[in-house]
Structure 1
Amino acid sequence: MAGGGRTGPGSRRRAHAASAVVPLPRAPADDRLDLVRLVPSGRSLAIAFGLLVAAFAAYWGARESSVFAVERIEVRGAPPEVAREVQRTARGVIGASLLEIDGSAVAGTVRNLPSVAAASVDRAFPHTLVIKVAPVRTVAVARRGERAWLVTGLNRVIREVDPRAEPALARLWLPRKVTIAIGETLPAVYEPATRALAGLRDVRLPGRVKSIRVTGGELTVVLHSGFEILLGQPTDVLAKLASAGRVLRALDDRMVYLDVSVPERPVAGTYLNSQVELERVG
C-alpha cells in the first residue's frame, strides 16, 4: 500500500550512537602555574632562619644581661607614705631585667600590703618598673594611749602613725587592753563604728567629725564643736546618719546633742538635759 505500508524488519534503519573526543583548549604557556617559582630557595630559607635565630638570641641576651635592668621603681596613684611602702616591698626587683620580671607576682605582693586595695605593674623601658596603686580608704585614727593607727571602713588596721597625724580623720579611742596588729582587724565590737565613719562620706554634716565612741554597744559621733549625735545600737546606721544630716542644720544653737536612735523620730537636747522631739523626718 503506497505511503502506508509497514516497513519490513530487514529494511528498518537502526540509529547508531556516535561518540567523539572533544579536545579542551590548552592554556597559553605563560599562564601555567609555575609551582617551582613559589617554593622558596634554599638561600631564602637560610636567611629567614638566620634572622629568627638572631632575634631570639637578641631577646635572650637582653633578658639575661643588664641592658634592661631595673634601676628605678615608680609608684603611681598612692600618697607618699604608701608609695614608700610599695617601693620597699618591691625593691627585690632592682637589678633584674624588665623582660624577666613576673609582673603578676609583683602586683600580687603589693596587693598584700594592708594599705593597698589594688595594684598593677607596667614596664617603662629601658630601666623603670611602674607600679600603679589604688590605696585603701582610711576613715579613722585608732588611739590607744600615746599610740595611733590608721583604720579602714572595714575595721582593718593599716599602719601605725604619729598620734597627731591625719587631723581630718575621726579618732576612735580604744582601751589599753585591746591588742592591735597591722594588717589585722580591730575587735568586732568596733566594726560598726568604722562602718559608720565610712558611711559619713555620703552624709553632709554641719561640722567635722572629731571622734566616735562605742559605749555599752551604742555609737556616739562627736563633732569638733562638741555636739554629739547619738546613734544608739549599731543597726540601720546609714538611715540614722541620713536622718541626722537632714535635721542638724535646722537645730537651735542651744542644742548640744541629737538622738537619732529612732531615725524616724529624732530628738534634740540641751545642757539642761531637756528634750525636744523634732518634726518627723520622712
Structure 2
Amino acid sequence: MADGGPDQRGARARPRSRAVAAPAPSRLATDGFDLARFIPTGRSLVTALLIVVGAGVAWFAARETPVFSVQKIEVLGASAGVSAQVERSLRATEGASLLKFDTDAARLSVLALPTVAGVRFDRAFPHTLEVVVAPERAVAVVRQGADSYLVAESGRVMATVERRDRPALARIWIKRDIRLQEGARAEGDLLAAVTAVAPLVGTGFPGRVSSVAASPESLTLRLRSGLELRLGDPVDVALKLAVAARVIPLLTSDTTYLDVAVPERPVSGTLNSQVEPEGMTSTQP
C-alpha cells in the first residue's frame, strides 16, 4: 500500500531527542571550603568578650591597688653614697604601682643629681624597682680661693669638698670671677684642663698633678715634684701623657720641664724659671 511504505514507518519509530539541563557543580563544595566554619558562634563571641573584660579588670586592679606596689628600691652600679642619693630622689614612687611608674619623670629626677651620668629602670615584679646607675667619674679638684669642688670627667661639678680631700686627683686653680656650683658644668679653658687630667686617673702616672694651666693653644701640668709637663695644643693628650709616663722616670733630679708637645720627640730641660703664658685658666698657688 502506498500509505504504509517503509519510510513512513521508519519515521514513526525514530526516538525523539530531549535536552536535559544538568545542575552546575558547586564551587565551594569542589574546593572543600566551608565558609560557615569561620563564622564565630554567639557562644564564642561571648567568651571572647568575657576574656577581654576580665583582662581589663585585672589590669585596672593591678594598676590601682597595692598588688604590684613599689616596696623596695634597689640601686645597682653606684657607691653607697650615690645609691642613697638616688633612693631619696625616688622616694615619691614608694607605694605606687609598678604599672603606673613614670619612667621619664624618674629619669629626670635621678639625672638631676650631679653624681649621676646615666640611669635605667627595671620593674622586678611584684614589689621591687631596680635602678641601674652610671655614676659620674671624678677626675679633678678645682680650687678657687678657700673653696674646692670635685669635678667629673664630663666637666660637671659633683660636690664641694675639703681642700685636702681626694689627694690623688689633680688640682686645677681658677680665678675668683669664674662661677661654680654643684650641678654646673665647666666650660672653655677649665673644661680643657679637666679633660687633660682625666686620662691620669687610675693609671699610676709617675707624679701627682698640683696645678693645670690651660689655654686654647697650650696645656701645661705642674707636678708636685716641681716638674713642668708641657703638652702643647690640646690634641692627642692621652698619647702625650703616655709618652711622659715613660720618660719621667728617666729624668735627672735637676730637670725642671718635660715637653711632649711632639710626642715622637720629647724634650727635657733645666731652666730655672718659667713664664706662664698670658690668659691661662689656672695658676700655681
TM-score category, normalised to shorter length: 0.7 to 0.9
Q: How many residues align?
A: 253
Over residues 116-139 of structure 1, what are the superposed CA-to-partner deviations in whole Å (9 max), with x where a residue is unaligned? Answer: 222111101111111212122221
**Aligned-pair RMSD on alpha carbons?**
3.7
1:141 lines up with 2:134 in the alignment: no
In 2 relative to 1, CA 92–60 (structure 1 residues): closer, same or farther, beyond 3 Å? same
Q: Report what 1:128 is aligned to.
A: 128
In 2 relative to 1, CA 212–20 (structure 1 residues): closer, same or farther, beyond 3 Å? farther
1:231 is matched by which residue type in structure 2? R
Q: Report what 2:101 is aligned to.
A: 101
Distance (Å, rounded) in 2 between the aligned partners of 1:103 and 1:148: 35
State the TM-score, normalizing by the size of structure 2. Answer: 0.72
In 2 relative to 1, CA 123–208 (structure 1 residues): closer, same or farther, beyond 3 Å? farther
**CA-CA distance at 1:240 after TM superposition:** 4.2
Do the aligned residues in 2 keep the contact of 1:72 with 1:129 (CA within 8 Å)? yes
Which residues of 2 match residues 41-80 of structure 1 at below 5 A? 41-80=41-80
Q: Report what 1:92 is aligned to.
A: 92
Local SS of the residue matching 2:120: strand
Distance (Å, rounded) in 1 between the aligned partners of 2:42 and 2:223: 85
Percent pairwise identity: 42
Do the aligned residues in 1 keep the contact of 2:141 with 2:151 (CA within 8 Å)? yes
Distance (Å, rounded) in 2 between the aligned partners of 1:44 and 1:91: 47
Do the aligned residues in 2 keep the contact of 1:98 with 1:127 (CA within 8 Å)? yes
Q: Report what 2:221 is aligned to.
A: 221
**CA-CA distance at 1:163 after TM superposition:** 3.5
Q: Report what 2:9 is aligned to.
A: none
Distance (Å, rounded) in 2 between the aligned partners of 1:33 and 1:215: 83
**CA-CA distance at 1:228 after TM superposition:** 1.9
Q: Which runs of 5+ in 1 are unaligned?
A: 1-18, 275-282
State the TM-score, normalizing by the size of structure 1. Answer: 0.72
Local SS of the residue matching 1:114: coil
In 2 relative to 1, CA 229–25 (structure 1 residues): closer, same or farther, beyond 3 Å? same
**CA-CA distance at 1:33 after TM superposition:** 5.2
Higher relative contact order (CA 8 A, sep 6+): 2
Q: Which runs of 5+ in 2 are unaligned?
A: 1-18, 274-285
Do the aligned residues in 1 keep the contact of 2:157 with 2:184 (CA within 8 Å)? yes
Do the aligned residues in 2 keep the contact of 1:75 with 1:131 (CA within 8 Å)? yes
Distance (Å, rounded) in 2 between the aligned partners of 1:69 and 1:145: 49
